[in-house]
């Protein structure tokens, strides 16, 4: 297993597998269970599933779907979307989800983080932070699938999360999400220089050199890939895919 993780991310909406661009214009990809089976064959290190409209639509996690995904998944599985309380988190862990990612609830109910850490350990929780730059280039934290500006200061918020014992951060650059243009390394580096928490970066990956930049320059602990994991190439058709480990080892210097 690679020390630095490369994690395919599957976006689901109403039980189907989709892919967005800048959190908009979702394109239907197929059945998420079939995608999980293919990633099993490719022996990926970890898999992330995000229900991208659950919180905005005020829906609970789709437990039945997640039960099926967890039973099919041979690798560690992370899930985020619609998690608002400890009961929901516990139910997800019981289904076989190894890590849960919370976004909106981390802001509105920070006590939830402490509860999960106390019972399941900090390695079980990821806080997801979605970021867009404002007119002046300042990174702003958004919730509700990128529609609500929280007004929070990013670095003050990071300090709070670290004090709560968060196990990992998932940073998504909304402006780059689905664009294949590379990760926002400047944003990533500003965060990894500030915190001791492991950081995953998401949004913009188009090739393995982008992954290398995230790990070797941005000092991310993991690179999350979306479009690159479900399309043949930019502008081309659906193909569940993952880079060869031999190629990843070369660019990551591992």
For the annotated catalytic residues, the residue numbers are 130
Compute the distance between CA of residue 146 and CA of residue 144 in angstroms, rounded to an integer. 5
Alpha helix segments (H runs only) across 73-226 = 86-95, 104-108, 111-120, 154-164, 185-192, 208-212
Compute the distance between CA of residue 102 and CA of residue 173 in angstroms, rounded to an integer. 16
Using CA of residue 27, residue 37, residue 10, residue 71, what is the dihedral sign? positive
Using CA of residue 82, residue 8, residue 156, residue 159, what is the dihedral sign? positive
35 token code pair: 């995608």
- Centre a 10 Å sphere on the Cβ of residue 254 and count the other Cβ atoms it contains: 12
Compute the distance between CA of residue 222 and CA of residue 198 in angstroms, rounded to an integer. 8
Q: Which residues contact 201 (CB under 8 A, 6 or more apart)?
A: 171, 173, 183, 184, 188, 214, 218, 220, 222, 223, 224
Q: How far is CA 244 from the centre of its chain?
A: 21
Counting Cα atoms < 13 Å in the Cβ hemisphere of 213 gives: 16
- Residues belonging to the chain: 254
């Amino acid at each position: 297993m690679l020390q630095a993780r490369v994690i395919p991310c599957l976006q689901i909406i109403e039980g189907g597998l989709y892919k967005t661009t800048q959190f908009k214009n979702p394109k239907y990809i197929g059945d998420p269970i079939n995608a999980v089976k293919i990633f099993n064959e490719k022996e990926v290190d970890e898999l992330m599933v995000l229900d991208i409209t659950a919180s905005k639509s005020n829906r609970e996690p789709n437990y039945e779907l997640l039960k099926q995904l967890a039973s099919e998944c041979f690798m560690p599985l992370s899930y985020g979307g619609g998690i608002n309380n400890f009961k929901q988190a516990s139910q997800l862990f019981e289904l076989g989800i190894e890590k849960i990612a919370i976004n909106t609830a981390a802001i509105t109910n920070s006590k939830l983080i402490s509860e999960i850490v106390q019972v399941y350990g900090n390695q079980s929780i990821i806080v997801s932070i979605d970021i867009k730059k404002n007119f002046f280039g300042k990174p702003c934290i958004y919730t509700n699938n990128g529609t609500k500006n929280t007004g929070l200061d990013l670095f003050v918020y990071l300090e709070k999360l670290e004090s709560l014992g968060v196990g990992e951060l998932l940073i998504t650059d909304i402006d780059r999400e689905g664009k294949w243009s590379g990760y926002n390394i400047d944003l990533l580096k500003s965060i990894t220089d500030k915190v001791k928490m492991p950081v995953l970066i998401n949004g913009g990956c188009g090739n393995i050199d982008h992954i290398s930049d995230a790990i070797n320059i941005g000092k991310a602990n993991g690179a999350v890939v979306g479009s690159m994991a479900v399309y043949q190439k930019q502008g081309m058709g659906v193909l569940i895919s993952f880079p060869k480990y031999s190629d990843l080892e070369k660019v990551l210097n591992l």
